[in-house]
Amino acid sequence: MDLKLYDLAGAKDDCRFSPPCWQVKMALKHKGLDAQEIPWRFTEKEAIAFSGQGKVPVLVDGDNTIVDSWEIVRYLETAYADHPSLFGGQASESGALFMKFWCVQTITPIILRIILLDLFQHLHEKDKAYFRESREKFLGMTLEEFATPDDATITALRTALSPLREVLKRQPYLGGDSPYFADYIVFAPFQWARAVSPIQLLAKDDLIYAWRERLLDAFDGYARNSFGYST
Ligand SMILES: N[C@@H](CCC(=O)N[C@@H](CS)C(=O)NCC(=O)O)C(=O)O
């Protein structure tokens, strides 16, 4: 087995903050697979040109190159069907797909407002101008205008997370008694924040905090042992 994962890094090689990369890394651990995690910066497009596009995660598995977190995870589920399942069936795969879009459209944008300036500080110097230009074009405003790392935004995040909290009142994971891929989807933006920002997103008595702690400890503390702030 020769798995390689191109993984977004900041100024420091071990500062790994990309949510889609975190989804894939947790999925690999769930499958019991080890990959060489190759640090990659936004402006190193030539290093992943072989994949036919310019974004990470990129997974190389022998002769196969797979891009896009969702496609990578579906590939792993099929190629490593005899390893623990990430979905457990078609219905829960569909549920995870809903979770992906809920996260990307509702949760990630609020976290971005909170951590954006800290994130910018952690970028490699060679990425900063590209990041500022591309994100300001996308946002239609400067990073500083978009960022609101204040109590009101943290409250908005905690309110938006209410559906997750309701599930966790009834069971320890979205997957029931144990995590499945949807858990890693929602966990990933918390790893994004943890890698770059000291801001406390969750109250310590929140059920979501306890769920995040369990996932930080999963796979022998794989996520907890990654570079990040104790939040
Ligand atoms: N749909 C893709 C999104 C991947 C993506 O946006 N990756 C970001 C890092 S989080 C990236 O590589 N961006 C490169 C760029 O903005 O130039 C997935 O889920 O894999």
Mind listing the domains of the chain with CATH numbers? 3-79 (3.40.30.10), 90-221 (1.20.1050.10)
CA gap 220, 231 in Å, rounded: 19
For a pLDDT cut of 90, what percent of the chain falls above it?
Answer: 99
List pLDDT tens digits, range 93-125: 999 999 999 999 999 999 999 999 999 999 999
DSSP codes of every residue in 20-49: HHHHHHHHHHHTT---EEEEE-TT-GGGGG
List pLDDT tens digits, range 33-63: 999 999 999 999 999 999 999 999 999 999 9
User: Is any atom of ligand 1 closer than 6 Å to the C-beta of 18?
Assistant: yes
User: Is any atom of ligand 1 closer than 6 Å to the C-beta of 40?
Assistant: no
Cβ(85)–Cβ(175) below 8 Å: no
User: Is any atom of ligand 1 closer than 6 Å to the C-beta of 68?
Assistant: yes
Inform me whether the pLDDT recorded for 85 exceeds 80.
yes
For residue 8, give the H/E element and its range.
Answer: strand 3-8
Which atom, in ligand 1's list, is nearest to the CA of 40? 12
Which of 56, 73, 137, 191, when mutated, tests ligand 1's pocket best, judged by the most ligand atoms within 8 Å of its CB?
56
User: Is any atom of ligand 1 closer than 6 Å to the C-beta of 87?
Assistant: no
Q: How much is the pTM? A: 0.98
- Centre of ligand 1 to C-alpha 148, Å, is 23
Which atom, in ligand 1's list, is nearest to the CA of 57? 20
Cα separations in angstroms, 51 against 16, 55, 69, 71, 79: 20, 9, 13, 13, 19
Which atom, in ligand 1's list, is nearest to the CA of 18? 10
pLDDT band at 134 (very low <50, low <70, confident <90, very high): very high
- Centre of ligand 1 to C-alpha 86, Å, is 22
List pLDDT tens digits, range 161-202: 999 999 999 999 999 999 999 999 999 999 999 999 999 999
The average confidence (pLDDT) of the chain is 97
Which atom, in ligand 1's list, is nearest to the CA of 8? 9
Question: Which pLDDT score is estimated for 190?
Answer: 98
Question: Which pLDDT score is estimated for 1?
Answer: 60
